[in-house]
Amino acid sequence: MISLKEALKLDNNGIVELRKELKEKIKANSHLGAYIEQLTNAELSDEYSGIPIAIKDNIQVKNWSITSCSKILQGYIAPYNATVIEKMLSRGLAPFGRTNMDEFAMGSTTESSFYGKTLNPLDNAYVPGGSSGGSACAVSAGIALAALGSDTGGSIRQPAAFCGCVGFKPSYGRVSRYGLAAYSSSLDQIGPITRSVEDAAILYDIIAGYDERDTTSANVEFVSTADKLDANKKYKIALVKNYTDEASDEVKNSIYLAANKLKEAGHEISEVSLSSAKYAIAAYYIIATAEASANLSRYDGVRYGRRGEAESLGAMYATTRGEGFGAEVQRRMLLGTFVLSSGYYDAYYIKAQKARAFISKAYESVLEGADALLMPVAPHAAYKFGELKDPLTAYLSDVYTVSVNLAGLPAISVPVSKNADGLNISAQIIGAQWEEQKVLDIAASLERACK
């Protein structure tokens, strides 16, 4: 499969052949379930012509069925394009296939999808990660040139790490959220999943920038990164030692190996510590579920999507939501409603927001003496299906990613090694807000060193 950079040089005939080749590969790999079309035996849409980019099923594409992989949105047809789709179309790129995901982006395995699970292309017995597991699987398996995902607490970086590709989460507000089905509005961010850092920078440049239709979009100057990507530039990089040492032995050894490779490449490596990750997990799941309970209240069977059969309005609400939402979504909405309820708002939600401010300042402090941080993406490589049956254990697997979203920082996952089972292990590079160029430069240097 050619790179996105190479695809941008194709003429019309070349793009037509590329799309034809991709369709054949997608059909041949239907067992992976990376695309919803693979799971529902549907044909890939040719409504939009251009260089094909896979799209996560929570990003609006006009005239497509966009369902966030939920039963409650069956029958909904998107009436407009998300801003990122409009930006892609203006640059000759086109949406091509809906990738599978955890329902409403709530999960880390892609098992909660209404359509069924996606497999890890490196070993089908293992999860691809989530919630953007379909996007990561498609890119890793060579059945997508590149893909868009969304990252609320690691949902781009973790599946990219599990599947062995590059996942980039820009600074909060750098890419428009207009047209993204909201999970947690103060945390969600769209970003690229690709096979190389350079392709990630190219796709990021295309979708980034201020959007007046998104009230959370940052009205700050945007400067392109791909044309300035420099793997030879030297930076000060701080290894987050306490997070790395708390990971599994195979992950810990891989991150230290990555640090040594960066040092050999001429970067200055130091060690720092961050406050306990348990605070970040607690703050994240209180804030994210609280916002989710508010955002998902719109799905009631009245305005759009599936409607449950009932004899009264109240019963219709209850039936629609009870039948339409899966177990994980219901669990998170209940938790969010609880922490926002009278008597618990101050005890939980306000305290979580204070913890969020503390975490942001902690990142600001350590990044004052370094250009970027280096640490694991997850405490372990991909795990087998059914291995994490306890929801709390699954939540704790996000321990190294959620704090980045709480602070609104840019971060990227880059493959650095394989474990004994042949599964991928990635390192995570985190920068200060709006410092995407530094993050991408270091990622390119690490990618080159580890190849």
Residue positions annotated with a catalytic role = 56, 131, 155
User: CA 2, CA 10: separation in Å to the nearest integer?
Assistant: 11
H or E element that contains 357 = helix 351-367
Cβ count within 10 A of residue 125: 13
CA distance 423 to 163: 8
- The runs of H, that is alpha helices, within 238-301 are 241-245, 249-264, 277-295
Q: Please, is 91 exposed, middle or buried when counting C-beta atoms within 10 Å of its C-beta (0-12, 13-18, 19+)? A: middle
Instruction: Show the tokens assigned to 96.
Output: 């091509």
Beginning with the edge strand found earlier in the chain, give each strand of the sheet holding 372-376 in spatial order: 93-99, 51-56, 147-150, 190-194, 166-169, 411-418, 424-431, 372-376, 236-240, 268-272
Q: Identify residue 95 by its one-letter amino acid code.
A: P
Q: Phi and psi dihedrals of 162, rounded to 5?
A: -65, -30
Backbone φ and ψ of 201, nearest 5°: -65, -40
| 3-class secondary structure, 149 | strand
CA 280 to chain centre: 18
Instruction: Please tell me whether the peptide bond between 140 and the residue prior to it is cis, using omega within 30 degrees of 0.
Output: no
With contact defined as beta carbons under 8 Å apart, do 194 and 135 qualify? no
Within 10 angstroms of residue 298's Cβ, the number of other Cβ atoms is 11
Closest to 262 (Cα-Cα) out of 291, 231, 216: 231
Instruction: Look up residue 59 and give its amino acid.
Output: I
CA–CA gap between residue 233 and residue 396 (Å, rounded)? 35
Tokens at residue 153, please?
Answer: 């607490």
